[in-house]
Amino acid sequence: MLKRTAVCALCALVLISALAGCGETPAPGTSGSPAPAASPGASAEPMLEYDWEGAWQAYPLDAVVMTVNGEDVTWAEFFHWYRTLYIQRANGSALDTELDDSDGMLLSEFLKLNTEGYCIQYHVVNQHVKETGTELTETDQLLLDWQLESDIAEYAGEGGTEEDFYEYLETQFITPELYDFISRNTVLYPRMFFTIYGSDAAGFSDEESLAFAEKYGFMSAKHILFLTVDGEGNPLPEAEIAAKREAAEETLAELQAVPEAEREALFDELMNTRSEDTGLESFPQGYCFEPGKMFPEFEEGTAALEPGEISGIVETSYGYHIIMRKPVTPDDSVDLGSGQIVTLRYVAAAYDYDETLNEWVTDAQLEYSEEFKDFDMADKLKPL
């Protein structure tokens, strides 16, 4: 009811098809990413088609292009990510296109750099899955089985078999081994979160959670709302709005009339009997939010209070609010949007997990094999 935007979960712990990039589905991590911009005038050039089949056959599929912390990245994997990135971000552009605002970087260099990033990310996850002893649960395996069945139905057609599907993968330059590697690690990455932090992130300490909340400016508050709009967001008639204002003023006067020690109990009673917030059932103890997630007036009204204090009447486009600020606790409820409600502790652990992955990626040792040290896909990938 109150939020303008949902809290952004940095770790979207969901399964993404390993076929991402074959068609219209975005690959993990690429959705919403800006595509490289070609230099002015490049868009007027005709769309290029490249001989991907010829490039695919340039090396044995198990040829080691590079290692990530000593773990092999094969030609099949490197080629898959390179082609996926090209199709998603620059399809039809020449590899020697110079990108805008890139200090002369060519498209081929951009694609190689980002291909390295994908390879590093999947392999450091694979390595830490092993180090932490993370294993697929029965539920995870069911999810993988469902994903395979879904991909078979989508790409091999109704009545298609696993063999038919693998034949389709071959046309998309994806080996069964690579499909399995990407699928498993896409599922094991969120599973490893629970290995490290425990169920519901219970292993993330109160101190760490509260430090996170302070760093990002989280606040907690509950409120009594008197709506001045209907179910479709349209303003109520003026007479009804005036009545809502009067009801808000009467409620505020009742709260101010009782001793401070009794105020929260009365606030809860009046909130449960008078508040018209449709989110009350989901958030009976109030909202925990970071800056930018509520209406500005609500956030400013909350920020002006000390924990335990109540506001005057705060007006937003939804109505009149009486706010009570609460002390932030690790188990406060945070709305991630789409009906996902988690604790602040969970959000803090998710941010920490994301930062940990970034550290793993940054610290990874990437080393090209001798044959690929000066590799440029443009030398192998020729226009048709």
Q: Kindly report, as residue ranges, where domains of CATH 3.10.50.40 are found in the chain.
A: 219-327
CA distance 153 to 161: 9
- pLDDT higher than 60, residue 7: no
Split at pLDDT 50, 70, 90, the class of 47 is confident
- pLDDT higher than 50, residue 35: no
Split at pLDDT 50, 70, 90, the class of 17 is very low
What is the structure's pLDDT at 103? 84
- pLDDT higher than 50, residue 24: no
Structure tokens at 16: 């993404």
What is the structure's pLDDT at 339? 80
- pLDDT higher than 60, residue 26: no
**Tens of pLDDT along 334-360?**
998 878 899 999 999 999 999 999 999
Structure tokens at 168: 């389709």
Determine if the pTM surpasses 0.95: no
**Tens of pLDDT along 278-290?**
999 999 999 999 9
Residue 340 DSSP class: E
- pLDDT higher than 50, residue 20: no
Q: Picking from 33-37, 51-55, 156-160, 231-235, which range would have the lowest pLDDT averaged per residue?
A: 33-37
Q: How many residues does the chain have?
A: 384
The percent of residues in the chain predicted with pLDDT above 70, rounded, is: 88
**Tens of pLDDT along 123-141?**
999 999 999 999 999 999 9
Q: For 254-286, what is the HEC assignment? A: HHHHCCHHHHHHHHHHHHHHHCCCCCCCCCCCC
Q: Is 380 helix (H, G, I), strand (E, B) or coil?
A: coil
- Please report, as a single letter, which amino acid is at residue 312: G
DSSP conformation letters of 63-116: -EEEEETTEEEEHHHHHHHHHHHHHHHHTT--TTPBBTTSTT-BHHHHHHHHHH
Architecture of the CATH domain 219-327: Roll (3.10)
Per-residue pLDDT averaged across 199-226, rounded?
A: 96
Split at pLDDT 50, 70, 90, the class of 120 is very high
**Tens of pLDDT along 243-285?**
999 999 999 999 999 999 999 999 999 999 999 999 999 999 9
Split at pLDDT 50, 70, 90, the class of 25 is very low
Q: Does domain 49-202+357-375 have CATH number 1.10.4030?
A: yes
What is the structure's pLDDT at 45? 53
Alpha helices in the chain (DSSP H): 52-56, 75-90, 107-132, 138-156, 162-171, 176-197, 206-215, 238-257, 260-274, 296-303, 344-363
Q: Kindly report, as residue ranges, where domains of CATH 1.10.4030 are found in the chain.
A: 49-202+357-375
Mean pLDDT of the chain: 88
Task: Report the range out of 23-27, 47-51, 317-321 with the highest average pLDDT.
Answer: 317-321
Q: Picking from 26-35, 80-89, 223-232, which range would have the lowest pLDDT averaged per residue?
A: 26-35
- pLDDT higher than 90, residue 36: no
Question: Between 129 and 200, whose confidence is greater?
Answer: 129
What is the structure's pLDDT at 358? 94
